[in-house]
Amino acid sequence: MDLTTTFMGPYCTLLLAQMGADVVKVEAPAGDVLRYVGDERGTGMGPVFLNANRGKRSIALDLKRPEGRRALLRLVGRADVFVHNMRPEAVTRLGLHAEDVHAANPHTVYCVVRGFSSAGPYRDKAAYDDVIQASSGLAAVQGGPDGPTYIRTPVADKATGLMAVGAIAAALYRRERTGRGLAIEVPMLETMVAFTLLDQQGGYVFDPPRGPAGYARLNSPYRRPYRTADGHVGVMVYTDPQWRAFFELVGRPELAADPRFRTITARTLHVDELYRLLEEELRKRPTAEWLAAFDARGIAAMPVLTVPDLFSDEHLRATGMFEDVVHPSEGPLRFARFPVDFSGAAPVDLRPAPRLGEHGPEILAELGYVPEEIRALGLTDGHAPDVTLRHREDV
């Protein structure tokens, strides 16, 4: 059961759907607000929603109404996993704490993905990806002379969604041994602090600190995709043999014996000088020539691709990375497939992202509701009321 909205929770449950879970997306009558982001046709089926909610069935329930909450708890009775990202006051108001869910089904794994741990003073703060990138140290690490900056993808949402998938899998494994479902809390801030500190803690690993925070190579202002004579490449020269090969390639073999560059410890201290050298040298030859030279020497390098370039990349096409589907209301669509291959397992055939409330009558019928009860909930044709205009205004 997926009671999440926007990015973080839907990404978690998308991954679960791609691994074979039957995901029931429980939406308010107004629907997940992400439906209306980029929704130029006014259908409530914006591009990110279409991507993040594949493989799910939608039911629209008004949980403020007793009959809506009763239907939800009947769904809980069949649920292996219950995921939400509601703020604490909403959970209390609706009576959907872990103990409430476990009273309906003690075997359900209850997972809340939220901005901040409930153990700290930030517990009631609103949280979105931007503020978590800022408060976790990530924006400062990404920044430069002009100040902190954000990564141009909701990385905090996605990383926390991934963390939730792992936690849910572990809880399901434990349930197989104990028979009881756990309550899990996956906070964004704490997830991204751990994510950032893995490489950026530096001297602060020691107490008291033995040096500054950060990782010199990653934080070098010269670490970037480099301009070639006709484009850009991403290149990573790392090991001793790779640097010796690069120095020979650019006609500077003597640099391999330079004390500044002879070992990885020394190179880390002088990484700006090395990356300036890369920047200077790569401008001298075209991209194809550099890629061939780097491949021949075992140096990792790839051209810089734009998002449109990805769809024509020969490797991604050969691995079947993209799947074409026809959505019943939105027409032909293209998506990236689940990137993990399970040996011997049949591929999961994902249903298209659902229209708001599309599967409500079907889901309630599975619970034993008769047509009169389904009509009493206002679910007669699989569609919730049209609230598109109000939501477009909100966004």
Q: Give the residue numbers marked as catalytic.
A: 157
- CA atoms of 389 and 213, how far apart (whole Å): 48
- CA atoms of 381 and 395, how far apart (whole Å): 27
Strand partners for 2: 25, 83
**Under 8 Å between Cβ of 169 and 182:** no
SS3 content of the chain, % helix, strand, coil (to 5): 45, 15, 45
Element (H, E) at 323: strand 322-327
User: Can the peptide bond before residue 208 be classed as cis, meaning omega within 30 degrees of 0?
Assistant: yes
| Tokens of residue 157, six digits | 């949402």
Element (H, E) at 232: strand 232-236
99 closest CA partner among 122, 82, 121 = 82
| Tokens of residue 392, six digits | 């477009």
DSSP assigned state of 21:
-
Tokens 């670490």 locate to: 223
Tokens 């769904």 locate to: 75
DSSP assigned state of 106:
T
**Under 8 Å between Cβ of 56 and 17:** yes
Give the 3-state secondary structure of residue 122. Answer: coil
- CA atoms of 269 and 380, how far apart (whole Å): 68
Neighbouring C-beta atoms of residue 237, cutoff 10 Å? 21
- Cα-flanking dihedrals φ and ψ of residue 283, to 5°? -70, -15
**Under 8 Å between Cβ of 57 and 359:** yes
Strand partners for 83: 2, 111
Q: Taking the CA atoms of 135, 109, 25 and 10 in sequence, report the sign of the dihedral they define.
A: positive
Beta strands in 135-178 (DSSP E): none
